[in-house]
Structure 1
Amino acid sequence: MAQEKPARAANIFDVARLAGVSHQTVSRVINGLPNVRPATKERVEQAMKQLRYSPSPAARALVTRRTRTIGLITSGSVDYGPSSIAMHFNRAARDARYSVDTVSTGERDPETAKRAVEGLLRQRVDAVVIVVNDAEVLEMVRALDLGVPLVVAASTARRGPQLVAIDQYRGARAAVRHLAELGHTQILHLAGPEQSTDAIERVRGWRDELAARRLVAPEPRHGDWSAESGFAIGADLEIARGTSVFVGNDQMAIGLMSALRRRDLLVPDDVSIVGFDDIPEAAYLYPPLTTVRQDFAALGQMMMQKVLVALEEGENESADTPLPTQLVVRDSTRELTIG
């Protein structure tokens, strides 16, 4: 006789469906937050009781068994940053003798991310890790209470105990500071997608560094992280000799440099350029690209350490300091000379 599989423990999405409310409303009831109507609260509590749902990790441990499997969700295109984070997290998990179930979603929207979380919970993972690069998805993720540890890799000014990040804001300020110290007063920004959390923080850093130096911040141009978008923007960008550009990632910087060459503008003689990420090819471009390096290996290890602490000791309420970046100066920037 085949052995029956243990019943799956209910999660927050099951409660929301049974109560006919959103998972955010369930989370508000669980955490005792205001602005929930009494009738709605009673319906949610009845659904939790009917499904025997408990948000407490300690209580859930009584009905679940460790699988030594962690669910990892990445979304959007396969960019260098997210793919590097996933690779280094997998290495850190393997070193801790955990396996990783990875779900890569092509879309960057809350509903797709929510379905991915539900799918991993059905596989009874011990924890969920999400690499977020979309502002709406991040807001959805912040409201989750899954009954298993949740770690989120996301760039945001609003720090939280479940969040880990690399300091995009200070990295952007360092890039702009470098250009300003070379004598540049016109510092344009070719940014990533407007909803990207990384792009939002880099734009914020660019604006604040310019403001601190009383320099004008023109409207940034937004690409999609690809070299193609950098080339397209570079083809019609209003740019004069002596201008500099802080570019939101190295791929777009590559496209921009190619477009400027077609316009007979030399880098760095006419235009200085700084990228972001320090992709492996950055040092071998012509000219080699000045850029901001991110320590994705350290981030992957930090994510795994946070999972292990949550599994063994419970959620830690303290927020971690974002990991620092490093400005790598190469030949795509040069001191501005007049005349």
Structure 2
Amino acid sequence: MHVPDGFINAPTSAVTGVVAAGAIAVSLRGARRELDDRTAPLAGLVAAFIFAVQMLNFPVAAGTSGHLLGGALAAILVGPYTGVLCVSVVLLMQGILFADGGLTALGVNITDMAIVTTVVAYAVFRGLVKVLPRGRRSITAASFVAAALSVPAAAVAFTFVYWIGGTTDVAIGKVATAMIGVHVLIGIGEAVITALTVGAVVAVRPDLVHGARDLRQKLRLRVHGELVDAPAPEPVPVAARTSRRALWVTGLVTSLVLAGFVSFYASSNPDGLEKVAADKGIDKKTGQHASADSPLADYGVKDVSDARLSGGLAGVIGVGVTVVAGSTVFWAVRRRRAGDDVSATATGSV
């Protein structure tokens, strides 16, 4: 659902850019509360994994494909604020390096694919977790539903933005029907990927999954006839830290394999937005991408003639750049939180 340059007029693109910038600023502050020394490395990995899986277009209907948006997955694994940042990092890397998603439309894409999907998915997820029986299966089921609903929500958001600032004269009802219809199907694929991934991580390290924190209830002890909270647990043992590193390495290797090898077998059909744009004439004023001459444009390495090698190298480079960029952002946020904690402690002791 990457919106290219030319679909949305300049004033509307500028407004969505302001919205996106504001949401990112809020998310940077909110992520300080979500990230700690255990989850900051995972956040960078989540961004890289989303980048990799977005390369795997899957068929959803005749002549149409879909791909992961990732907002639901990121929000459930690392938190809604951090999730917005994860998807935003992916969109920025894709736009600058791979000419995927217009640079003037970056605000539209962040608003649609990062903010809307994350907010809708996390709201649905938290609502379901509160009413479902407490357990890992409920986390997985809630992830499935939240992800499935987040994709058509993004389609509705795009339709609204197009209604306000579309550059072609197409009946909005036709756009809405086509966009929502195909993205309901894409949402099923998103739900399967999200549920499988969240379920896999919850099975091995539920303590690292932001959305599964409710599974860890405080232990209460009865002392002299009264229930009191048990003492805080001891620091995480070395074995658990090693398991964390193993999870990170496994996730990175998986991302590299998906982007570097499996992506070659992805569907070549246009995705939902591209198909609707071509069928309805939305793409009549599409402009040339500012990064069209990038050595990695269109997910291939320039001057590498072998298609399999070219695409694989581009995918591996993309995963590497995204994990470095994402990890840098999230470690910076984590250090800022640590600085805030030290300042608060110093102030309180005065």
Q: TM-score range by the shorter chain?
A: under 0.3
TM-score (norm 1): 0.28
TM-score (norm 2): 0.27
Q: Which is helix-richer, 1 or 2? A: 2
Q: Which is strand-richer, 1 or 2? A: 1
